[in-house]
Structure 1
């Protein structure tokens, strides 16, 4: 091979360019380089190492494995609205179905319809207002649409050849509004005018001035004016109770006022003296009655009978209940059907009567005849709960059973009836001593009923206490009609309901627990026995009502009480004529017993005795009723007959105790 002359280069850059142009040229491996010199004292080591990083990596660093290459992410397809090399490389997406082309628009050869020519406005406009003019602009009240209305049709082919009519708005007139109220100043002016008119219309009278120099002229023969009369008591109102310390049965007749006590020389004083003293005021002749205004005897009798019948019918104490009481005694419990005894009793007891009062009385009396108080379970503290049917056939119950039976029969008979629970001053009740506080309020332990009777009146009754009484852990059967006939005020003196709505007082008042438990009096009441109530004597009109009577008070003690009502007749409503009532006293210092009869006018009983003549402190004073004289019934015996019997000697008498007081 012939030698090829190497080209000569004039400079190093020419040689490098020639070598780069050769295709088979390979650069020689780089020679090992020296370590870099230590860094200068002021230069940080990190900069020295970073300045020659390639040398350190080549000489000292171990070979590192190749880094894994990142996966090639496919490029996103190029959008159709872009241009450039990117769009050429990215794959094209499949083409969507193009929508059908819109139909070509036909060129309309018809000319557009011309708008009608605008007519000149004929509205007269006033000349321009000045800046200081206060006239209202008339142009602002005219609507543009009202001047040139535009057709609401949208057709472009129609042409309007007729000119449009213009309508003007109606003229503005004043609205008819109500007048405004007067202002405060105007109201004051009007009020002053009205006051002036009233003063002008009134007659002004001069005031009467008293003159001291005027002498007082006495009216000779003038009669003082009487006070207004009190309204008479209505016939259908129940007797008021002694809640405020007053007598519970008010009467038109009052007993005579206390007088000086004239003690007889002995109890065997002559009969003539007593009869003369009692007849003294009665010998006076009454004033003459005008003959012209005097009614006939037939008219007097008719009015008297009619008034007495109405009063007796409205008063439960004097009402004749013989018919319902006789019906109630005909159906004993052992004769009742076993199926629905309540419905049967409601039919046979209440069916014969129209009056709700008679129906209520028949049920009340039937409970007395057929149900006894269950003293075994009560004192044994093992009271069992029974249904109404079981109680009727068992024949025994406590107060709750009585009330449930009464309510069941009354409701089946069509009466309105409720069961009332609360506290009763019955067995186990002890009156409070002087100054003793009442116990904590606890209206429990007893049950009774309230039933709606005639005239829609609610009546309180106690069928348990009306059937009998309990004493010495034994039941004493005895009919007590007072538990049906008492007024609600009197009934509430011994019954306190747990629900205050069941007092049913005529005055609507609700007594407190302390008022009920202590009673209408703070002091202890005198002892009153039931035998007096059977004879028509009212325990609510007793005087003195206190149990203890001071002996050395120097006063005259009035013993006074009345019948249960004005029209109570002992022969028609009771057991016969009234007994003679007497006060048994012990004499001065308790050295001599004596009997003082009471005066009576048919409604009141009374007598006046000096306190010292009653006896010594610690002794008792009794109210007696003379029951037998010489082994004969003493009903109807008068005071004169009593003194005559005692003066004759050789007699025998027996007494019944009605009341008792203690001397202090």
Structure 2
């Protein structure tokens, strides 16, 4: 193709005029939109509607790829923020041509316009919903639309479909619109009556009932009508209620013989016992009149009330209560037969399950500790006590006081009893009574442990399972059952146990004794030495005289030896081993030259005898309290004082004794 020399122009206006004069070029009108720029070389993908068979370019030097135009796109909307274009000046042709050239050059690099968003085609219409044939079972309680209610219900719950159909597809099971039934076709349950309606019905029923009762009630006569109190008169007091209902019917006027007290000697001062450490208060001032005030007869109890209280006391008293059932159950479950996985739960079930009384449950655990746990004297005297768990202590079979208390607490709490471990001081092994006039040591409420358990009637009971199982002496342990460590009252229990916490005395009077009062005790010196178990014979080891170990010989007084039963209603035939033994005092005679056995008098509750101090013996000698156990090779239970003297005066007899108490003469 021959090169064509391009004409040279001096101004832009001459160039524009030359271009307008060409045949194949027509200047666009100012209002017409310029087509988009041609695509780059090598990217000619659009078909050419007017192909050139020669394969060369046009006469003006423009190739086919340059003349190919892309399809027209809708114009891009102009930004509203651009300022409006200025009107073209009509008196300047050259300026107009220059502006057109600048506009053409600026649009060459601009991107193609975007399609107009306002000219969007409408979306296809959705298919209409078919009405549902499933009726609603209940009417909604609000005024919401029925259609919205149906749309929130699963298609699966309204119309069960086959397992082959997808439950999530809305095309296979379209939702159906359900119309509400008419008002007369709906069957709604009646509404419950409101509160006002219920109150009105109750008032109406009460009025009808009162009217009916008044009509049917018989008329009262004048004699049976109650007396109307006069104005200003004082109303009478309500009748007194008994503390507890009587369970037995007793004769109103039985013949009850009063209990006789032992007669005091002529020149003898009765020693005081320490059943209660409270001192009597000073008497108040007497009234001006010498006559005593009248006895209120209305508050005097009847004989039936007194007898019922006596019967109740005999069943509630721990000293004479029959514990044969819990003691027999406790002996049936040795430690080697217990399961290894849960011995505490097993013992709580087998020991306490057969009994409904909390007292019997507590007693069964107390007796089981005696049969299955021994005191660990090896670790105690070797001062190498090891800490063990409750399960280990049960299967090991040995423990010190802390181990006894922890085992008892674990079983009791598992059985549903309230039980705690009390730590404090105990007058056990190593305790030495103070001599007369000796001062007590500083307070040290440690070294021992025991328990407090809640028994019948919500009463907190102090007990010592360690001392109840046996005793320690001379480096060895002696196993013997001591039941009074369970039956002893809290006041007497506190004579040998002092807790570190003042809340755990549990005394009947609520008083907290001092350390000096506890350590010295109620005696002014050492107590008399006790042998055997007096409680088995019904004799109290806490209520006898003289309680001091040493008895002066040259005091010139008559010494009374006096003993009592453990409780007023203790029966030797029902609670003991049979009839009571005859008690004898073994003395040394005047100046210790003649031994003798003096029997004691008794009235069924007290035993006593009065002996001059000079007849007891000489200083340095000892005297004893004996119990006649055998007479002429026969059991001596029930032998009276007269039978003893007849046998003794016969000249041919044999006797056996048991030692209960021992004193020393000074």
User: Into which bin does the TM-score normalised by the smaller protein fall?
Assistant: 0.5 to 0.7
Once residues 351 and 495 of structure 1 are traced to their aligned partners in structure 2, the CA distance between those partners, rounded to angstroms, is: 31
* Partner SS, residue 441 of structure 1: coil
Choose which of 496, 521, 533 in structure 2 pairs with 1:531: 533
Structure 2 distance, partners of 1:462, 1:575, is 25
Return structure 1 stretches of 4+ with deviation > 4 angstroms: 232-235, 302-308
- 1:430 aligned residue (413, 427, 432): 432
CA deviation vs aligned residue, 1:178-237 (integer Å, no higher than 9, x gap): xxxxxxxxxxxxxxxxxxxxxxxxxxxxxxxxxxxxxxxxxxxxxxxxxxxxxx9999xx
Equivalent position of 2:634 in the other structure = 632
Return the alpha-carbon distance in structure 1 between the equivalents of residues 563 and 458 of structure 2.
32
How far off its partner does 1:609 sit?
Answer: 0.9
1:634 Cα offset (Å):
1.4
State which of 567, 570, 585 in structure 1 corresponds to 2:569: 567
Task: Check whether the contact 1:536–1:564 (CA below 8 A) recurs between aligned residues.
Answer: yes
Q: d(CA) in 2 for partners of 1:602 and 1:640?
A: 16
In the alignment, the residues of structure 2 paired with residue 475 and residue 259 of structure 1 have an alpha-carbon distance, to the nearest angstrom, of 44
RMSD: 2.5
Partner of 1:454: 456
Q: How far apart, in 2, do the equivalents of 1:438 and 1:328 lie?
A: 40
In structure 2, what is the equivalent of residue 257 of structure 1?
A: 263
Q: Flag structure 1 segments of 5+ consecutive residues without an equivalent.
A: 1-231, 236-251, 262-298
User: Within 2, Cα distance between the matches of 1:309 and 1:345?
Assistant: 33
Rounded to whole Å, the distance in 2 between the matches of 1:611 and 1:530 is 26
Q: Is residue 501 of structure 1 aligned with residue 512 of structure 2?
A: no
Distance in 1 between residues matched to 2:465 and 2:447, nearest whole Å: 15
Which position in structure 1 is the counterpart of 2:467? 465
Structure-2 residue corresponding to 1:603: 605
**Is 2:366 aligned against 1:364?**
yes
Alignment pair present for 1:310 and 2:312: yes
Cα displacement (A) at 1:259: 3.5
- Please report the TM-score for the alignment, with normalisation by the length of structure 1: 0.55
What is the DSSP-based 3-state SS (H/G/I as helix, E as strand, rest coil) of the residue aligned with 1:348? helix
Counterparts of 1:522 and 1:586, CA distance in 2: 25
Distance 1:452 1:539 in 2: 25
Alpha-carbon distance between aligned partners in 1 of 2:585 and 2:491, rounded to the nearest angstrom: 29
Q: Is the 8 A contact 1:624 1:656 kept in 2?
A: yes
Provide the residue aligned with 1:340 in structure 2. 342
Corresponding position of 2:398: 396
2:494 is matched with 492
- TM-superposed CA distance for 1:309, in Å, is 3.7
Which residue does 2:555 correspond to in 1?
553
* Deviation of 1:256 (Å): 2.7
Deviation at 1:549, TM superposition (A): 1.5
**C-alpha distance 335-305 of structure 1, shift in aligned 2 (>3 A):** farther
- Contact kept? 2:623, 2:664, Cα under 8 Å: yes
Paired residues of 1:591 and 1:615 also in contact (CA < 8 A): yes
* Secondary structure of the corresponding residue to residue 542 of structure 1: strand
Q: CA deviation at 1:605?
A: 0.3
The answer on whether the counterparts of 1:255 and 1:606 sit within 8 Å (CA) in structure 2 is no
Shift of 1:308: 4.5
Paired position in structure 1 for 2:477: 475
Pairwise CA distance, 1:522: 2.1
Distance, in Å, in 2 between the alignment partners of 1:569 and 1:233 is: 26
Counterparts in 2 of 1:389 and 1:443: CA distance versus 1, 3 Å: same
Q: Higher relative CO (CA 8 A, sep ≥ 6), structure 1 or 2?
A: 1
* Structure 1 residue 304, shift from structure 2 partner: 8.6
- Partner of 1:352, secondary structure, is coil
Change (3 A) 1:397 1:519: same
The correspondence of residues 132-151 of structure 1 with structure 2, limited to 5 A, is none
Residue ranges of structure 2 left out of the alignment (5+ in a row): 1-241, 246-257, 268-301
Cα contact 2:260–2:603 (8 A) shared by 1: no
Partners of 1:385 and 1:452 in 2: how far apart? Answer: 27
Pairwise CA distance, 1:306? 4.9
Q: 1:30 maps to what in 2?
A: none
Secondary structure, counterpart of 2:517 in structure 1: helix
Aligned equivalents of 2:353, 2:418: Cα separation in 1:
16
- Name the CA distance, whole Å, in 1 between partners of 2:244 and 2:621: 43
The equivalent residue for 2:441 is 439
Give the whole-Å Cα distance in 1 for the aligned partners of 2:338 and 2:525.
Answer: 50
The residue aligned with 2:98 is none
Instruction: Render the CA deviation track for 1:442-463: whole Å, top value 9, x for unaligned.
Output: 1111110000111111000000
SS in 1 for 2:545: coil
Q: 1:322 aligns with which of 318, 321, 324?
A: 324
Q: CA deviation at 1:588?
A: 1.1
Secondary structure (helix, strand or coil) at the match of 1:367 reads: helix
Q: Secondary structure at the match of 2:539?
A: coil
Q: Distance in 2 between matches of 1:635 and 1:431?
A: 35
Q: Does 1:521 align with 2:527?
A: no
1:477 to partner: Cα distance: 1.2
Per-residue Cα deviation, 1:244-267 (whole angstroms, up to 9, x for no partner): xxxxxxxx8452322459xxxxxx
Q: 1:526–1:660: 8 Å Cα contact kept in structure 2?
A: yes
Relative distance call for 1:304 and 1:325 in structure 2 (3 A) is farther
Q: Distance in 2 between matches of 1:594 and 1:329?
A: 44
Distance in 2 (CA, whole Å) between partners of 1:658 and 1:234 is: 39
The 8 Å contact of residues 532 and 659 in structure 2, kept in 1 or not, is answered as no
State whether structure 2 residue 651 is matched by structure 1 residue 645. no
What's the offset of the Cα at 1:571? 2.1
Q: Which has the larger radius of gyration?
A: 1
Any conservation in 1 of the 2:433–2:525 contact (CA below 8 Å)?
Answer: no
Q: Say whether the 8 Å CA contact 2:587–2:624 is kept in structure 1.
A: yes
Q: For 1:637 and 1:462, how far apart are their aligned partners in 2?
A: 36
**Cα offsets for 1:67-87 (capped at 9, x unmatched):** xxxxxxxxxxxxxxxxxxxxx
CA deviation profile, 1:402-421 (whole Å, cap 9, x unmatched): 00000001111111100001
Contact 1:560 1:604 in 2 (8 A): yes
Question: Contact 2:591–2:617 at 8 Å: present in 1 too?
Answer: yes
Distance 1:524 1:338 in 2: 48
CA contact (8 A) 1:547 1:661 kept: yes
Distance 1:469 1:534 in 2: 17
Q: How does 1:223-302 map to 2 (within 5 A)?
A: 253=259, 255-259=261-265
